[in-house]
Amino acid sequence: MLGWLCCLRSKKEYQLNDNFPYGQYAIGSIVKYMETLHERLAKYVLPQQYMEQDLYPYFREIEGKQGTEVEMGGHKVLMFGSNAYTGLTGDDRVIEAGVQALRKYGSGCAGSRFLNGTLDIHVQLEKELAAFVGKDEALSFSTGFTVNSGVIPALLGKDDYIICDDRDHASIIDGRRLSFAHALRYKHNDMADLERQLRRCRPDAVKLIVVDGVFSMEGDLAKLPEIIELKHKYGATVMVDEAHGLGVFGRDGRGVCDHFGLTDEVDLIMGTFSKSLASIGGFIAADKTIVNWLRHNVRTYIFSASNTPAATAAALEALHIIQEEKWRIENLWKITRYALRRFKEAGFEIGDSESPIIPLYVRDVEKTFVVTKRAFDEGVFINPVIPPACAPQDTLVRVALMATHTEEQIDRAVAILLKIFKELEIIR
C-alpha cells in the first residue's frame, strides 16, 4: 500500500476518493502508476545475467548418491561442497534403515507431533540424542532451520533480549526476527563487543545468547569459554547451534560444547540431521523444564508435519554408526589437518578455520563465480560464498571435507584450484 501511496501527487490529479477505506481510489489514471508484485519481481534478473555468462553456480544437478565423487552431467566430479562430514549419506546401513522404516510406518505421518504424528522411533531418536549431547531431553523437528526459527521466538517475550553473533546462520536470524524480544548483535567472535551488548540489557531481563558452534562459511569456532564467563557475569542463557559441530568435534562427535567441556554450562543445544547424521531434520536439547515449555509452545514443532519415518530411522542409524566406528571422526581430522596444511603451503588465504570447513578467500564476487565454474569444469565441486552470506570484501569458495576423502583427492583439488587462482591473479 505505501509503495503506491508515495507516488500520489494530489487527490485531485488522481481522483482519490476519501470514501474508500485505506485510501483506495476511484478508477482513473492512477492505475498506470501502480506496480504489481509481478512487475516488481520481474526486475530481478541477476540470476539470468550470470546464466548468460555461463557462470551461474546454483542448483547443479547430482545424478546419484553423494560421496567424495559424484555423477554430474555424465561424468564424475570430486565433491568438496557437501556437509556430509562423516561420509554416511550413501552408506548401505543408513539407506536400509530408511527403507525398513518406510515399509513399517509408511511414507509420512500426515500430521504434527502434537497430534497424530508421533512415532515410537521419533521418541527413541530424541532419547538417544539427548543422551548423546548430555541433556535431559530433546525434541526432533522436520528441518534444522525450523528448530532455530521456532525455538528462539518461543523462548522470549517483548521485554527480553536476544544477542547474536553477526555471522550466525540465517535460521537464527529468522528466529530473531520472529521474536518480540529486543535484538542485539555483536561483532563476530568479539567478546568485548558481546559484553558491550550485554551491558545494554536490563539486569533483571532474560538475556539469550545464540551462537553457532562452528561458523559454516569460515570454519572457525565460537569462543565458547569466554561466552560462558559472560553468561555468568550477566545472568544470561546460552544456546549453541551444533549443526556443523556434531559428528566432528568432541567425544565421538558430540559437538563443540563437549569439545570445550562446557556441555553442562550451555542451556540449549541445537543440531541437525542433514550433515553428519546423513538425513534431514533437526533437534533441540535442554533440561526438562525448558523442553516441557518448548514441546507445547514452539509453533514450528506443533504446527508442522512430523519428520518422515525414513528420515528419522536414517538419522538414528547414522547416530549409532558414528559412535561405533570411531575411525570416521579420526580420519576426518587426519584429512582436515592434511588439507589445511596443503592449502596453506600452496599460498591460499584460509582465515582462521579450525574445522573441516576451509574457506579459500577470493575477495571479488565476479571472480568467486569464475573460480566455481572453472573448478567444476575441471572436476572439482566447491561452493561460492557471496553476500549476504558474507561481507562483499570477504567472498570466498568453500571447501568441505568428509571422513572418506583421501589425500590423493585433496592433492588433485589443491592442484586444480591453485592453477585457477594463479591464472585469475588471486594468488600471485
Give the model confidence (pLDDT) of 126-144 as tens digits. 999 999 999 999 999 999 9
- How much is the mean pLDDT over the chain? 92
pTM above 0.85, yes or no: yes
C-alpha cell at 187: 561483532
Rounded mean pLDDT, 351-369: 96
In the predicted model, is pLDDT for residue 14 greater than 90? no
Q: Comparing C-alpha atoms, which of 313, 305, 338, 322 is closest to residue 405? A: 338
CB-based contacts of 21: which residues, under 8 Å, 6+ apart? none
In the predicted model, is pLDDT for residue 214 greater than 60? yes
Give the model confidence (pLDDT) of 80-91 as tens digits. 999 999 999 999
The catalytically annotated residue of 275, 367, 373, 405 is: 275
269 or 14, higher pLDDT: 269
pLDDT at residue 29, rounded to an integer: 52
Q: Predicted confidence band at 30 (pLDDT cuts at 50, 70, 90)?
A: low
E strand intervals along 5-93:
69-72, 75-79
Rounded mean pLDDT, 159-171: 97
Q: What is the CATH number of domain 92-324?
A: 3.40.640.10
Give the model confidence (pLDDT) of 34-81 as tens digits. 789 999 999 999 999 999 999 999 999 999 999 999 999 888 999 999
In the predicted model, is pLDDT for residue 295 greater than 70? yes
Q: Comparing C-alpha atoms, which of 111, 126, 125 is closest to residue 306? A: 111
Known catalytic residue at 275: yes
The catalytically annotated residue of 244, 259, 367, 405 is: 244
C-alpha cell at 234: 550477566
pLDDT at residue 419, rounded to an integer: 98
For the beta sheet containing 182-186, the strands, ordered from the edge strand earlier in sequence to the opposite edge, are 137-141, 282-286, 268-272, 237-241, 207-212, 161-165, 182-186
Q: Can you tell me the distance from the alpha carbon of 147 to that of 281, in angstroms, rounded to the nearest whole number?
A: 9
- Would strands 237-241 and 268-272 be described as parallel, antiparallel, or unpaired? parallel
Question: What is the CATH topology of the domain spanning 53-79+326-423?
Answer: Aspartate Aminotransferase, domain 1 (3.90.1150)
Question: Which whole-number Å values give the CA distances from 56 to 79, 255, 366, 378, in the listed order?
Answer: 18, 34, 11, 16
Cβ atoms of 351 and 359 closer than 8 Å: yes
Cβ atoms of 214 and 289 closer than 8 Å: no
Known catalytic residue at 75: no
Burial 208-231 (b: 16+ CB within 10 A, else e): bbbbbbbbbbbbbbbbbeebbebb
pLDDT at residue 32, rounded to an integer: 55
Give the model confidence (pLDDT) of 173-203 as tens digits. 999 999 999 999 999 999 999 999 999 999 9
pLDDT at residue 5, rounded to an integer: 31
The catalytically annotated residue of 82, 142, 149, 216 is: 216
Known catalytic residue at 82: no
Percent of the chain at pLDDT > 70 equals 92
73 or 221, higher pLDDT: 221
Q: Domain segments of the chain: what residues?
A: 2-44, 53-79+326-423, 92-324
Rounded mean pLDDT, 312-337: 98
